[in-house]
Amino acid sequence: MGLALGPVCDYYLFNNKKVLLMAGWRSLILVLAIVFTAAPVAVAQTGVQARLAPEDSALTGSRDGVSLRLALSQPVPYRMRLLPAPPRVVLEFNTLDWQTMDWPETDGLRALRMGHRGDGWARLVLDLAYPMLPESLAQDVDPDSGRAVITLDMARATRDAFEARAVDESAFIRDYSDHLLHPESAALAEQSGPAPLRVMLDPGHGGVDPGAVRDEVSEAQIVLEFAKTLQEELLRRSGFEVSMTREEDAFVSLDGRLRAARAARADLFLSLHADALPEGLASGAVIYTLAEDASDETAELLATRHDRADLLAGVDLSRNTDEIASVLMSVAWQDTKLRNAELADALVDGIRDDGLRLHARPAQSGAFSVLRAPDMPSALLELGFMSSPRDLARLRDPAWRAQMATAVANGLEIWAARDRDRRAQLEQ
């Protein structure tokens, strides 16, 4: 069964019937080919997993287009997204085991990455060398063997055409993906509406405290730019409300940042940094969560340095150490500690799945005053280190920041899904 993508219509497949879903959503092609009577979520839970057959799969490409053929042991729910800057195609498959697959180098692609999102979806990312748009996307099922083949044909397009589609895509996800992926919860959601996750983004430093400075660029500037990109990315998706502790180059005390999170009734606090450390100590992204003892000297150095900026600005921090101690003793902390660890893991997964550079020890801990809320999951993300020349080049690159924002947003989605599942289990 083939599926041609018309100019104004998208389809999705349900029980092998082609259904006209919605006119006007050209951007994202979301296709669920469900051969089980159960919903895809139930498929994931029963552990039914399709396997990729490398010998029957193929990838060819040129400057004019790319063709992909995935041979599978059984059909899977799948979906496709287009991401701009740099142009990428993201294909996701529910419960697919990649096994080992050596893809050939192909003109038309810069890179190809495979990974697992951690929530039952496997992901294939095609980094396009040129803007290309899908001409056809289909899953054909052999009725005798039950095996399936997914084919995707992409053709060269203008950058404008690609970006028009890639931008639209997010609106489609916002309006449709949750309903399609969790059909059994859609009825519930219609009654009460799913509560959005209120995220407080905290771009570190600012004003009198520039943070690290290299080549006349400050950490405060870089993390503010990143926070704005991440805010846009989250707002394009469903399920997030986003606030920021600062939206300009202004000093905000660590206490003020926490108060802002409280005032916004934030469900989650994410502090964003890109510090400098003595040469050679660190590169790649690290996620820190709160603990009395730092996981290593670097973490301790970062925690005390961030406090020092407050001291220099005349803020009294004498009670913070005591506060951290009492947070760690509190009853609420037991639950938050677990959720923090899961938040760090999910962010690591999101960044790793997108093939971005992580520190050798990506999840660490320290006595960061800004993370001392006892009942609000909090993490401090060092996007990279300005002291590493290669990290610095990436941090200054808007395309890299956009890619990192996508990865972090994916991580937050992964966390939100896992956290909801865990809470539902606790309630039973």
- Applying CB under 5 A, which residues contact Zn ion? 204, 211, 273, 275
Q: Residue 3 or residue 309: which is nearer to Zn ion going by CB? A: 309
Q: What is the dihedral of CA 242, 243, 244, 245, to 10 degrees?
A: -140
Query: In the complex, what is the shortest distance from the CB of residue 229 to Zn ion, in angstroms, rounded to a whole number?
Result: 18
Find out whether 242 and 235 touch, Cβ atoms under 8 Å: yes
Query: In the complex, what is the shortest distance from the CB of residue 205 to Zn ion, in angstroms, rounded to a whole number?
Result: 6
3-state secondary structure of 150: strand
Q: Residue 153 or residue 225: which is nearer to Zn ion going by CB? A: 225
Query: In the complex, what is the shortest distance from the CB of residue 251 to Zn ion, in angstroms, rounded to a whole number?
Result: 13
Q: Residue 112 or residue 272: which is nearer to Zn ion going by CB? A: 272
Q: Residue 149 or residue 301: which is nearer to Zn ion going by CB? A: 301
Distance in angstroms (rounded) separating the CA atoms of residues 242 and 291: 26
Separation in Å, CA 234 to CA 48, 230, 287, 291? 31, 6, 19, 28
Query: In the complex, what is the shortest distance from the CB of residue 306 to Zn ion, in angstroms, rounded to a whole number?
Result: 6
Query: In the complex, what is the shortest distance from the CB of residue 316 to Zn ion, in angstroms, rounded to a whole number?
Result: 21
Q: Sheet holding 148-156: strands in order across?
A: 58-62, 65-72, 148-156, 132-141
Query: In the complex, what is the shortest distance from the CB of residue 275 to Zn ion, in angstroms, rounded to a whole number?
Result: 4
Q: Residue 65 or residue 204: which is nearer to Zn ion going by CB? A: 204
The identity of residue 391, as a single letter, is: D
| Residue with the CB atom nearest Zn ion in the bound state | 273
Q: Is the peptide bond before 86 cis (omega within 30 degrees of 0)?
A: yes
Which of 365, 373, 367 is CA-nearest to residue 257?
373
Q: How many CA atoms lie less than 13 Å away from 350 in the CB half-sphere?
A: 26
Find out whether 359 and 298 touch, Cβ atoms under 8 Å: no
Measure the N-to-C terminal CA separation of the chain; round to a whole number of Å: 42
Q: Residue 209 or residue 353: which is nearer to Zn ion going by CB? A: 209
Find out whether 204 and 211 touch, Cβ atoms under 8 Å: yes
Query: In the complex, what is the shortest distance from the CB of residue 302 to Zn ion, in angstroms, rounded to a whole number?
Result: 7
Q: What is the number of H-type helices and E-type strands within the chain?
A: 11, 21
Q: Residue 180 or residue 220: which is nearer to Zn ion going by CB? A: 220
